[in-house]
């Protein structure tokens, strides 16, 4: 690691330059949820595919119900039922009507639909409130119906193609597939769709001091929290996350673990072991993993003008040049680093249009001025009050305050050239939402 100091923006730019959207694959619709479409999907058939009824009622000829009223109803012969999904349709002649259900095809001869509520429902009584179930009352499909109101041509008929026409663009490449888009794809008959898959992100925490939660702590040990927090954050960003329990501070073990994991990783994230200590084995191990002889391979370790999160590593490893980000081991440093660098990398792999967290401006709500080191961009944890456009810091600047992090919903950004921020000043916040 040289003594050059990189800015947050330079590092982010380098990280994003090193990751490319994943190759698209054809996925079943439910598996494509949240993914980005890579093809323009055109409509193969008109929707609806045929003229159909928008009401439960009677399919009629317009002339037969002209002038009909409750006092002088049109009396029509019911020739049968047209249910949704009916294949063979009865032909409606003069003086005839067919019972028709919502979504059922308009039968030949019929020109309009009168809702059942505008008829006697075939009962010979007053206005109907509904039809009796066909299974209870099969005789409802025959006999006579009294129609109490006239209907214009095409009344209560949804025309073929009134939603979309064959050849229309249904969804453009680049669309993120949420529930309504999944619904539209299903409606036009697409069982599978070509998208960028969710990236598989492997999170490896390192440190001989780490013990898994639920186990007993020995002297000098702490619980592994990074692998849990970052796997959850990767999932939250849209990835499929695999958590690898803590790896001991031994370069050979770490190298073997990382090489083992390559097979299921589109992105590797490690925590710990990236600083200037004598046991910083991530740095030691990963400068020689896999593709050190290949162009573009290998991991760079850097110091960033940033607090927390100064030491960072990134690059690519293995035969497929799998991208890897090596984050610092402190829980708050690693989480902030994840938000700033890994989350945008994951969303770039997904091909999402917007890879960054939203930001806002807010008035700083504190009793006294905040201090910040010169020449470092500081990220403090805060709670954002959207209504008041204000932000309150939680916890101090100490990078180990994981308890405060769990109360925060934003990061307060103090720029490199600012060393003190007065109460009430406007600051930038990154909304963690």
Please say which residue, 61 or 99, places its beta carbon nearer to a second copy: 99
- Three-state DSSP class for residue 139: helix
Please say which residue, 86 or 425, places its beta carbon nearer to a second copy: 86
* Phi, psi for residue 89 in degrees, rounded to 5: -110, 140
Please say which residue, 34 or 415, places its beta carbon nearer to a second copy: 34
Rg (CA), the chain: 33
CB of 61 to a second copy, least distance (A): 20
CB of 321 to a second copy, least distance (A): 25
Cα–Cα distance for residue pair 251/131, rounded to 1 Å: 76
CB of 365 to a second copy, least distance (A): 21
CB of 9 to a second copy, least distance (A): 24
Please say which residue, 11 or 158, places its beta carbon nearer to a second copy: 158
CB of 91 to a second copy, least distance (A): 14
Cis peptide before 48 (omega within 30 of 0): yes
CB of 185 to a second copy, least distance (A): 7
Cis peptide before 53 (omega within 30 of 0): no
Please say which residue, 298 or 329, places its beta carbon nearer to a second copy: 329
Cα–Cα distance for residue pair 278/77, rounded to 1 Å: 95
Please say which residue, 224 or 266, places its beta carbon nearer to a second copy: 224
Residue with tokens 């009396």: 75
The neighbouring-strand residues paired with 377 are 306
CB 317, CB 324: distance < 8 Å: yes
CB of 208 to a second copy, least distance (A): 3
Cα–Cα distance for residue pair 420/418, rounded to 1 Å: 6
Please say which residue, 94 or 248, places its beta carbon nearer to a second copy: 248
CB of 67 to a second copy, least distance (A): 25
What the block records as the tokens of 403 is 């308890």
Please say which residue, 165 or 371, places its beta carbon nearer to a second copy: 165
Please say which residue, 147 or 421, places its beta carbon nearer to a second copy: 147
Quick one: three-class SS letters along 260-308?
A: HHHHHCCEEEEECCCCCCCCCHHHHHHCCCCCCCCCCCEEEEEEECEEC
Cα–Cα distance for residue pair 147/57, rounded to 1 Å: 10
Cis peptide before 308 (omega within 30 of 0): yes
- Three-state DSSP class for residue 84: coil
CB of 334 to a second copy, least distance (A): 9
Beta strands in 29-69 (DSSP E): 36-37, 41-42, 52-53, 57-60
What the block records as the tokens of 396 is 């101090």
Please say which residue, 153 or 159, places its beta carbon nearer to a second copy: 159
Cα–Cα distance for residue pair 172/191, rounded to 1 Å: 17
CB of 286 to a second copy, least distance (A): 12
Instruction: Give the residue among 319, 258, 251 at the shortest CA–CA distance from 283.
Output: 251
CB of 83 to a second copy, least distance (A): 5
Q: How far is CA 135 from the centre of its chain?
A: 44
Please say which residue, 18 or 128, places its beta carbon nearer to a second copy: 128
Cα–Cα distance for residue pair 240/234, rounded to 1 Å: 7
């Amino acid at each position: 690691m040289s003594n050059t100091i990189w800015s947050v923006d330079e590092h982010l730019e380098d990280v994003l330059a090193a990751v490319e959207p994943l190759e698209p694959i054809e996925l079943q619709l439910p598996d494509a949820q949240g993914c980005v479409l890579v093809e323009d999907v055109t409509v193969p058939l008109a929707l609806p595919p045929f003229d159909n009824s928008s009401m439960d009622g009677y399919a009629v000829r317009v002339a037969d119900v002209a002038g009909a009223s409750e006092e002088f109803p049109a009396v029509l012969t019911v020739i049968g039922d047209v249910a949704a999904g009916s294949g063979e349709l009865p032909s409606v002649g003069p003086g005839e009507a067919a019972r028709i259900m919502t979504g059922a095809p308009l039968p030949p001869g019929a020109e309009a639909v009168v809702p059942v509520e505008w008829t006697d429902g075939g009962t010979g009584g007053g206005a109907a409130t509904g039809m009796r179930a066909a299974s209870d009352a099969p005789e409802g499909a025959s006999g006579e119906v009294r129609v109490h109101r006239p209907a214009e041509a095409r009344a209560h008929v949804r025309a073929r193609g009134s939603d979309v026409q064959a050849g229309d663009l249904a969804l453009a490449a680049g669309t993120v597939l949420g529930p309504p888009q999944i619904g539209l794809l299903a409606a036009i008959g697409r069982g599978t769709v070509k998208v960028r898959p969710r990236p598989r992100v492997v999170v490896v925490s390192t440190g001989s001091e780490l013990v898994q939660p639920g186990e007993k702590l020995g002297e000098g040990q702490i619980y592994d929290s990074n692998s849990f927090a970052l796997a959850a954050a990767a999932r939250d960003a849209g990835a499929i996350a695999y958590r690898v329990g803590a790896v001991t501070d031994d370069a050979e073990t770490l190298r073997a673990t990382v090489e083992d994991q390559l097979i299921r990783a589109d992105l590797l994230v490690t925590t710990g072991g990236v600083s200037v200590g004598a046991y910083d084995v991530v740095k030691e191990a990963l400068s020689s993993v896999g593709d050190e002889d290949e162009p573009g391979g290998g991991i760079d370790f850097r110091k960033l003008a940033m607090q927390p999160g100064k030491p960072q590593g990134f690059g690519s490893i293995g035969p497929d040049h799998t991208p890897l980000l090596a984050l610092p081991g402190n829980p708050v440093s690693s989480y902030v680093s994840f938000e700033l660098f890994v989350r945008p990398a994951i969303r770039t792999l997904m091909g999402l249009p917007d890879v960054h967290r939203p930001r806002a401006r807010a008035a700083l709500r504190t009793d006294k001025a905040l201090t910040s080191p010169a020449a470092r961009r500081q990220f403090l944890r805060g709670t954002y009050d959207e209504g008041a456009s204000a932000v309150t810091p939680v916890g101090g600047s100490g990078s180990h305050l994981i308890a405060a992090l769990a109360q925060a919903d934003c990061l307060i950004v103090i720029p490199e050239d600012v060393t003190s921020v007065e109460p009430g000043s406007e600051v930038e916040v990154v909304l963690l939402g």
